[in-house]
Amino acid sequence: MSTLDADIQAVASLKEQAGSSWDAINPESAARMRAQNKFKTGLDIAKYTADIMRADMAAFDKDKTKYTQSLGCWHGFIGQQKMISIKKHFNGKTDRRYLYLSGWMVAALRSSFGPLPDQSMHEKTVVADLVRELYTFLRQADARELGGLFRALDAAREAGDKAEEAKIQDQIDNHVTHVVPIVADIDAGFGNAEATYLMAKQMIEAGACCLQIENQVADEKQCGHQDGKVTVPHADFHTKLRALRYAFLELGVDNGVIVARTDSEGAGLTKEIAVVKQPGDQGDVYNSFLDVEEIDVADMAEGDVCFNRNGKLVRPKRLPSGLYQFREGTGHERCVFDCIEAINAGADLLWIETAVPTVHEIKGMMDEVRKVHPDAKLVYNNSPSFNWTLNFRQQTFDTWTAEGKDVSAYDRANLMSAEYDETELAAVADARIKTFQADTAREANVFHHLITLPTYHTAALSTDNLAKEYFGEQGMLGYVAGVQRKEIRQGIACVKHQNMSGSDMGDDHKEYYAGELALKAGGAKNTSNQFN
Strand partners, 183: 100, 210
298: alpha, beta or left? (left if phi > 0; alpha if psi -120 to 50): alpha
**Nearest Cα to Cα of residue 236 among 185, 284, 272:** 272
**Nearest Cα to Cα of residue 75 among 449, 451, 385, 453:** 453
Residue type, 406: D
- Angstrom distance (rounded) from CA 366 to CA 331: 14
Cβ-Cβ contacts under 8 Å for 209 (sequence gap 6 or more): 45, 46, 47, 48, 49, 50, 52, 53, 181, 182, 253, 255, 256, 257
* Per annotation, catalytic residue among 73, 209, 210, 223: 223
- Angstrom distance (rounded) from CA 94 to CA 177: 8
Taking each helix axis from N to C end, the angle separating 193-206 and 42-62, rounded to the nearest 10 degrees, works out to 100
- Annotation says 494 is catalytic: no
Counting beta carbons within 10 angstroms of the beta carbon of residue 527, is it exposed (0 to 12), middle (13 to 18) or buried (19 or more)?
A: exposed
- Angstrom distance (rounded) from CA 259 to CA 74: 20
**Nearest Cα to Cα of residue 209 among 250, 257, 242:** 257
Q: Say how many CA atoms lie within 13 Å of 83 toward its Cβ.
A: 30
Catalytic residues: 223
